[in-house]
A and B are shown apart, each in its own frame.
Chain A
């Protein structure tokens, strides 16, 4: 079930109403049943895969807690193998097989390994990572093993964040299923406001920009360098609004029912460096990799060259996490390279106490924000391109910086207007936090007028035929 559908609106109203109508002791069961229904609205049979990992991880958690020494570690390994195994089969098997076919083809041989005719289960990478965070935390002793199977299943399947995050940690979410959430009007309205803003981002900004981006990126050979530059910038905003819009709806929907999910985005395009960008973008995944991979590899406690290597590897894997395609691997590698280069530069500047002229003050910060945005946009080319050769074709065409701009005037008008509205709101949130607010204004007329304005914008400018959220495929 897509968030941007009437079905979801009806589903949300029914589930939330029932949630508050039911006694506390039955609520977890309602949420679990609703989450199953939500997930099964995509491809029903894939709930079995989810069920498989849930059963393994549930028992693995208990066994880890009850065991000591090597046994404890071996149960963790069982859990990790089950989760990574599911990912490997459903997400990476055909990709690896493709590469094997290519390599054997180079040697003039045929690949005897058969292809699997399977669809990638929606949001697989998200819920497997969330499940892994549970067993790892139990292993580390930061979390007690959950004894109630239903509650554990709900931890993995909680419908607002089931298919595209935020990837939660057990310490933050599990206990909330035991807490009694009463109907608090301010919290409910705050959740609904966040959902409204999420819908605006998805329907008005992301899906509108997608019409231009798809036209350019699906047929890059037919488009000029200028068009591809514009499409790449548009894609940067599209993917941000698509994904952060989803996160806002997820966090908002959970908040209405009394649950606090972690923040996933913090106005990333106002970052003035690559490392800051990664602290603001897909925070739940970045911190997952930091907590469970980067630190496990030694983190900052190793020699400097090894630390650079660790960072690079983490980003490479992060790229692969996004999709089984070399484009994502290159995207990850590029970001890893950016980050390592930025750290090396910072260390060099600190070591020799260098002062870069113009690097401070508003102008310097603006330049850094713009430079970071350009670097990120460049990496998005690989993220969005259908394949590596398309990505390089796009870069070559962009470098030529010529040709006519593909544009139908309503598309361009709506695209630019939606970006301007987004940036205006985010710039206000970033730089004028305590100042005048429309959505949180004390005056109810201004506040409610803003909600109505946003709804009207969605009705007038939203794309209602837009597709699913980009991150569902991960």
Chain B
């Protein structure tokens, strides 16, 4: 009786998992189709950065990058095509992933890496956010190493065809229906904000030293060595923030030190006018608005263009 039950159970389990496999495959294919059919929204911008852009200047960074660098303004000053591949909520691992993906297709002349305050702080979220690369796991093998930073079981989870699209139903729907084209229009990856910061009181950012995330530091160094190896002009930038003492942030200091050791230019705009004194150039403490972004884009592009000129 018991043996019979075990046999029946094994048979049913196998059939069940076969059905799960088929449904998972079918739903996964549907999700995949609609994922790569998007033509707007944040997911689309990752796809575009990885698979389509051929810009000579590539901007990498988090939301501060996507809000601060206006490619149209930069193009005029640099006389080069620019794409802003900044992605909100992401950290150094994401930037490295985009760089690796892009290098499979072409070699940009200039990479601008906008680093975040507390970039090297150990935060689990930086690893969790690498889920953004899951839909590309089979088309971009160069991202595998980064995807596996999420957990050692990622290859097991990726047996499922649905898993890469976990929590993405609505964003994918949005990317297909094009709501973001109206709600949050983009200019070559750049997402301008019109809002103006109302609070003129400048808060102080205290320097707090913490245990640094060695993987993040290693990734930062790998970005620098990759660019050096590929002959790409890399510029590490710390863009403006309306916070007192932010330039003294622990991670920013570390980035400055490592960049200097590696001979990579570090452009620090934390103490640059007019951003230090004019809160009307911001939408909040850490994001420039469109007006501020235009001024900043001009400044950073001029600075890089001059360096490139001197280099030649």
User: Bound pair: A and B?
Assistant: yes
Bound-complex Cα distance A7 to B152 (A): 10
Residues in B with CB closer than 8 Å to A431 are none
Which residues on B sit within 8 Å (CB–CB) of A326? none
**Given that A20-B6, A459-B24 are known contacts, is A448 also in contact with B19, CB under 8 Å in the complex?**
yes
Are B8's CB and A459's CB within 8 A?
A: no
Q: A residues engaging B (CB < 8 A)?
A: 5-7, 20, 182-185, 188-189, 409-410, 413-414, 448, 451-452, 455-456, 459-465
CB nearest neighbor in B for A188: B9
Q: Which residue of B lies closest to A413 (CB)?
A: B170
Q: Would you call A185 and B5 a contact (CB within 8 A)?
A: yes
Q: Determine the residue in chain A with the shortest Cβ distance to B131.
A: A465
- Give the distance to chain B from A253, nearest Cβ to Cβ, in Å: 16
Q: Given the known inter-chain contacts A183-B5, A188-B9, A464-B166, please indicate yes or no for A6 contacting B156, CB distance below 8 A.
A: yes
Cβ distance B69 to chain A, nearest Cβ, rounded Å = 24
* A contact face: mostly helix, strand, loop, or mixed: helix
Rounded to whole angstroms, the CA-CA distance of A189 and B6 in the bound complex is: 11
- Assess A461 versus B166: contact at CB under 8 Å? Given A183-B9, A456-B23: yes
Instruction: Indicate if B187 sits at the interface (CB-CB under 8 A).
Output: no
B30 to chain A, nearest CB (A): 11
Chain B residues 82 to 129 lying within 8 A of chain A, measured CB to CB, are: 124, 128
CB pair B169–A452 under 8 Å, yes or no, is: no
Quick one: CB contact mask for B153-175 with A, threshold 8 Å, 1 for yes? 10011001011011101110000
Chain B residue at minimum C-beta to C-beta distance from A20: B6
- B156: chain A residues within 8 A (beta carbon): 6
- Is B27 positioned at the interface, with any CB of A under 8 Å from its CB? yes
Partner of A414, one of B23, B124, B167: B167
| B163 partner, pick from A413, A459, A463, beta carbons under 8 A | A459
Q: Does B34 contact A (CB under 8 A)?
A: no
Flag if B165 contacts A460 (CB, 8 Å): yes
**Please, could you name 23 A-B residue pairs with CB atoms under 8 Å apart, sorted by A?**
A5-B153, A6-B156, A6-B157, A183-B2, A183-B6, A184-B5, A185-B9, A188-B5, A189-B12, A410-B167, A410-B169, A410-B170, A410-B171, A414-B170, A448-B19, A456-B24, A459-B24, A460-B167, A460-B169, A461-B169, A462-B166, A464-B157, A464-B163
Residues of A contacting B210 in the complex (Cβ-Cβ under 8 angstroms): none
Which of B's residues lie within 8 Å of A, judged by CB? 1-2, 5-6, 8-9, 12, 16, 19-20, 23-24, 27, 124, 128, 131, 150-151, 153, 156-157, 160, 162-163, 165-167, 169-171
* Contact pick for B27, options A184, A410, A456, CB 8 Å: A456
15 more A-B contacts (CB under 8 A) besides A455-B20, A459-B160, A465-B131? A6-B153, A6-B156, A183-B2, A185-B5, A185-B12, A189-B9, A409-B170, A413-B170, A448-B19, A452-B23, A456-B27, A459-B163, A460-B27, A464-B157, A465-B124
Nearest-Cβ distance from residue A207 to partner chain B, whole angstroms: 11
In angstroms, how far is the closest chain B Cβ from the Cβ of A127? 28
Q: How far is the CB of B293 from chain A (nearest CB, A)?
A: 23
- A453 CB to closest chain B CB, in angstroms? 9
Question: Chain B residues near A451 (CB, 8 Å)?
Answer: 16
- Contact present for A456 and B162 (CB under 8 Å): yes
A462–B1 CA distance with the chains assembled, in angstroms = 38
Query: Which residues of A have CB within 8 Å of B167?
Result: 410, 414, 460-461, 463
Chain A contacts for B2, CB-based, 8 A:
182-183
> Could you tell me the distance in whole angstroms from the C-beta of A62 to the nearest C-beta in chain B?
36
Closest residue to B160 on the A side, CB-wise?
A: A459
* Docked CA distance A409–B184 (Å): 14
Contact B162 A459 (CB under 8 A): yes
Shortest beta-carbon distance, B42 to chain A, in Å? 11
Q: How many Å from the CB of B120 to the closest CB on chain A?
A: 20
Contacts A6-B157, A183-B2 known; A460 to B170 CB distance under 8 Å? no
Taking CB atoms, residues of chain B closer than 8 Å to A7 are 153
B1 and chain A: residue at smallest CB distance = A182
A465 near B163 with CB under 8 A, answer no
- Rounded to whole angstroms, the CA-CA distance of A353 and B1 in the bound complex is 61
Chain A residues within 8 Å of B8, by CB: 185
What residues of B have a CB within 8 angstroms of the CB of A414 in the complex?
167, 170
Residues on A with C-beta less than 8 A from B1 are 182
For B171, the closest partner residue in chain A by CB is: A410
- Distance in Å: Cβ of B207 to nearest Cβ of chain A: 21
| Contact indicator A459/B166 (Cβ below 8 Å) | yes
Query: Which residues of the partner chain B approach A460 to less than 8 Å between Cβ atoms?
Result: 27, 162, 165-167, 169
Which chain B residue lies CB-closest to A187? Answer: B5
Question: B151: which A residues are within 8 A, CB to CB?
Answer: 6
Residue of B nearest to A21 (CB): B6
| B contact residues around A413 at 8 Å (CB) | 170
Chain B residues in 8 Å Cβ range of A5: 153
**How far in angstroms is the closest Cβ of chain B from A132?**
36
Name which of A413, A460, A462 has the most chain B CB atoms within 10 A of its CB.
Answer: A460
Chain A proximity of B91: nearest CB distance (Å): 14
Chain A: minimal CB distance from B24 (Å): 7
Report chain A residues within 8 Å CB of B124: 465
Q: Which 10 A-B pairs have the closest CB atoms?
A: A465-B128, A6-B153, A410-B170, A185-B5, A459-B162, A182-B2, A183-B2, A185-B9, A183-B5, A183-B6
In the assembly, what is the distance between CA of A465 and CA of B169, in Å? 17
B191 CB, min distance to chain A CBs, angstroms: 15
Residues of B contacting A6 in the complex (Cβ-Cβ under 8 angstroms): 151, 153, 156-157
Measured between beta carbons, the chain A residues less than 8 angstroms from B160 are 459
Closest-by-CB residue of A relative to B179 is A409
Residues of A within 8 A of B20 (CB): 452, 455
Residues of B within 8 A of A455 (CB): 20
The chain B residue sitting closest to A455, CB to CB, is: B20
Q: How far is the CB of B252 from chain A (nearest CB, A)?
A: 23
Q: Report how far A7 CA is from B6 CA in the complex, Å.
A: 24
